[in-house]
């Protein structure tokens, strides 16, 4: 009887041990499988994040390079314009201002303009002139005497302290004014000089 009880105990113990071992192995396998799944997911997620970061970095690099290239192109263009403007301005301004404040030169211009307003065999056109105050002493007698006599026309003359050189002219009582000031001539000459200057400077 004792032997049978011992045998039964041993068998139950062994079966329990075997089942516990089996259940333990299943738990270990499940845990291993879950660990493998988590590791695989983490690796895939890490790869996705790295790929996304690399893509964003490449896009940022491309954008930055494009912005730098555009900024450089614009800077070069602006620099060229400034150089061109400086050269043209220096070449035109000094000469034009000198001539447009020269009484003899301004007298010639006035004569040409008045002649254009008063062609031969046409009725005289009365004119209004505005000149720089600095030219009054030399130009006033010329306009009031010689121009009036030569073209048999009345010329009203005003002088402005705001003008540096040249003059403005309009038909007396007319609605428009023609400007022959140093600024106008500088701009006019500069417009002709710019293309040639640009070609000389930058090819």
Return the CATH number at 194.
3.30.2320.30
30 within some domain: no
Write out the two tokens for 74: 């614009």
Q: Give the per-residue pLDDT at 27.
A: 77
Tens-place pLDDT, residues 88-100: 566 666 666 777 7
Q: Give the per-residue pLDDT at 83.
A: 65
Provide the phi-psi class of 57: left if phi over 0, else alpha when psi is between -120 and 50, else beta. Answer: alpha
18 within some domain: no
Q: Give the per-residue pLDDT at 1.
A: 58
Q: Give the per-residue pLDDT at 189.
A: 66
Q: Give the per-residue pLDDT at 18.
A: 63
2 within some domain: no
Count of domains forming the chain = 1
Write out the two tokens for 27: 């738990």
Tens-place pLDDT, residues 87-132: 656 666 666 677 777 888 888 888 888 888 776 666 777 788 888 8
45 within some domain: no
Please identify every stretch of the chain with a pLDDT value under 50, giving residue numbers as ranges: none
- CB burial of 48-87 (b: ≥16 within 10 Å; e: otherwise) equals eeeeeeeeeeeeeeeeeeeeeeeeeeeeeeeeeeeebeeb
197 within some domain: yes
Range of the domain at 101: 93-202
**Residue 190 and residue 89 in contact, taking contact as beta carbons nearer than 8 Å:** yes
Q: Give the per-residue pLDDT at 41.
A: 87
26 within some domain: no
6 within some domain: no
Provide the phi-psi class of 152: left if phi over 0, else alpha when psi is between -120 and 50, else beta. Answer: left
115 within some domain: yes
Q: Give the per-residue pLDDT at 122.
A: 63
């Amino acid at each position: 009887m004792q032997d049978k009880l011992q045998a039964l105990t041993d068998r139950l113990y062994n079966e329990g041990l075997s089942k516990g071992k089996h259940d333990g192995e299943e738990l270990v396998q499940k845990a291993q499988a879950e660990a493998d799944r988590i590791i695989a997911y983490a690796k895939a997620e890490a790869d996705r994040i790295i790929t996304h970061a690399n893509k964003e970095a490449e896009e940022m690099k491309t954008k930055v390079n494009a912005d730098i290239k555009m900024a450089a192109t614009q800077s070069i263009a602006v620099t060229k314009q400034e150089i061109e403007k400086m050269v043209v301005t220096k070449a035109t301004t000094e000469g034009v201002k000198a001539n447009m404040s020269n009484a003899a030169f301004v007298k010639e211009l006035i004569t040409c303009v008045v002649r254009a307003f008063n062609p031969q065999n046409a009725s005289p056109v009365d004119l209004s002139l505005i000149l720089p105050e600095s030219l009054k002493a030399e130009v006033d007698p010329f306009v009031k005497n010689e121009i009036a006599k030569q073209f048999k026309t009345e010329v009203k003359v005003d002088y402005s302290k705001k003008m540096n050189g040249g003059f403005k002219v309009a038909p007396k009582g007319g609605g428009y004014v023609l400007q022959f000031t140093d600024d106008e001539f500088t701009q006019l000459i500069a417009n002709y000089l710019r293309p040639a200057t640009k070609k000389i400077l930058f090819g």
